[in-house]
Amino acid sequence: MRRAVIFVLSLITWLLLALPIDIVAWEIHWANLIAGIFASLIVALLFDEVFIKEHARAVNPLRYLWFLIYVPVFAYYCILANIDVVYRAIHPDMPIKPGIVKIKTDLTTNSALTALANSITLTPGTLTVDVDFENEENILYVHWINVKTTDVDEASEIIAGRFEGLIRRIFE
């Protein structure tokens, strides 16, 4: 059933993007349609495990509201981080203390962990190096341009705390 849904969504996306819109003639280019069916079939067969298992969760409008809140929050912290990195780069003494820190997160789904890791990586001055699942705890190793603390809880709050709550509401 999931593969059928993925096939239909992929084909609709293909048709919207590849077929020309001619309101007067409504001509269909059969080569595009056949290629779309073939590509959608491949996507449905190969990427079945990538898509979410519970479709009802994906259409929850509250998740989209939290995403709309998350975007400006992420943009704000990204701009602050850009300014901080520029300051460190142009400062004559170059005040950096690079290092890799360990942070804990209580996010459980793969999509939430991926979103958190990407949010950390897209923020200048930090880079997610590894994600580790040890003893039922999700650990991220992050390269930080200016290590302020090596304490796991403090580093977790400074680096991931600003994104974690919103990501949890969106993905879990």
- The model's pLDDT over 109-122, given as tens digits with 9 standing for 90+, comes to 888 888 999 999 99
Asked if pLDDT for residue 131 goes beyond 80, the answer is: yes
Structure confidence at residue 166 (pLDDT): 93
Structure confidence at residue 22 (pLDDT): 54
Residues 57, 44: Cα–Cα separation, whole Å: 20
Average pLDDT over residues 22-26: 56
Choose between 96 and 26: higher pLDDT.
96
Asked if pLDDT for residue 79 goes beyond 90, the answer is: yes
Q: Is 157 exposed, middle or buried (0-12, 13-18, 19+ CB in 10 A)?
A: middle
Structure confidence at residue 24 (pLDDT): 54
Q: 63: which residues sit within 8 A by CB, 6+ positions away?
A: 57, 169, 170, 171
Tokens of 11: 């084909």
Average pLDDT over residues 116-132: 92
Residues 63, 53: Cα–Cα separation, whole Å: 16
What pTM did the predictor assign? 0.72
Confidence of residue 53 (pLDDT cuts 50, 70, 90): low
Structure confidence at residue 135 (pLDDT): 66
Structure confidence at residue 99 (pLDDT): 93
Residues 62, 76: Cα–Cα separation, whole Å: 22
